[in-house]
Amino acid sequence: MVGIWAWLRRCGQRYAVPLVLAGGIMGAVVLASPGAAGAVTDEMRRALCTVFGGTYCAPPEEAAVLGGTERENCSEWAGAEEAPPARADGSRRERQRIGTFNIYGSLGHAGDAEPIVSTVVDSVKQRTPVFLGLQEVCETQSFALAARLAPYGYNVYFDPTPKDSYDSGEYATCKNGARFGNAIVYRADFADDIAKSSHDLNTPDGQSTKRRAPCVSSESKGAVFCTAHLTAKSEKDDREAERRAEAAALKDVLAEKYQGMTVLLGGDLNDEPVSAALDDFYDPRYGAGADGDLKEADSVGQGSGRNGGCRDGALTLRVIEERSGVAVEVTKFKLDYLFVSNDVEIHGTEVDEDRVSDHNSLWSDVTF
């Protein structure tokens, strides 16, 4: 049965064979010829999206371009392109682990250190990353993290998020009154010349929370790790313009401030892979309007294929939905990303379902 289902899925994605679900798992199958794709109604398209994913999940006018590069080729991008054998300081490139995790620090934990701090500490001890980007962090949690991780050779760089304007001197706060922001956990011995900096992302007027991107860099290693938390959608407003402005600003920061460096970017970007905002990060090979300089660690043969092409990856956000009168937790969207320069070799990426947050953490083994 599994083999038949896989065959149906492949055929559906290739030949536009509509499959309509009814009466439980599967009802009736409606076949259409390859040339009859225009006959697919909105209702049929929604059913096809549920089963096949791919271009059927896009509005009809976008379906022709959403797929991007054929999925079978995505894994070829994992290798490094023209990677130098050594870093600027003469040290050899090394296999390292990087990660990103939205810890739900205020809404989920009201700024309390536990249990979230213990979860992050345990993950760091187990996975020994060189960099870990954290979003939705309360300053009280960053203090606790720094104290707990110091014996293991890690530092924590906390960057508070400005409120109302970038020069107001005011900051967004958590439920316990602590400053709210992002943080980077980094291995203290990565380099002797580690520099920390924060960059405004030009969040447009009208949003009280002004987004920034903290970065940790080393000239001698020729590398920078940044994390970001772009403006989220609301029930009444998609806020796409805000995310597009912030993404464009971050792209400029990486190109201008860290020119020539290997870029590692982890964050909750609050949009899905095929969104316009993420065009600024994905390398043009990804298609669908991609105009960036990076590849995504979870889009090189690791994803579900639901978007048809390589702009894909494991789902990372869990939501509660009512199904048949029962509240069910569903992992529904990919909002979390690990982007890396094309000179980085990607060995594998995985998601960890950390139940202390509404987001899963994302980890990747890379050589840079």
Write down the CATH superfamily of domain 75-367.
Endonuclease/exonuclease/phosphatase (3.60.10.10)
> Does the pLDDT of residue 49 top 70, yes or no?
no
User: Whole-angstrom distance between the N-terminal and C-terminal Cα of the chain?
Assistant: 43
Note whether 252 and 259 are within 8 A (CB): no
| The most confident of 48-57, 345-354, 359-368, by mean pLDDT | 359-368
Alpha-helix runs per DSSP H in 128-278: 139-149, 240-257
Note whether 183 and 103 are within 8 A (CB): no
Please indicate, yes or no, whether the overall pTM of this predicted structure exceeds 0.85.
no
Question: Which of the pair, 5 or 275, is modelled with greater confidence?
Answer: 275
Tokens of 278: 């993420």
The domain ranges of the chain are 2-66, 75-367
The long-range contacts involving 77-82, CB below 8 angstroms and separated by at least 24 positions, are 77/283, 77/285, 77/295, 77/299, 77/300, 77/310, 77/346, 78/300, 78/301, 78/345, 78/346, 78/347, 79/345, 79/346, 80/342, 80/343, 80/344, 80/345, 80/367, 81/342, 81/343, 82/343
pLDDT band for position 73 (50/70/90)? low
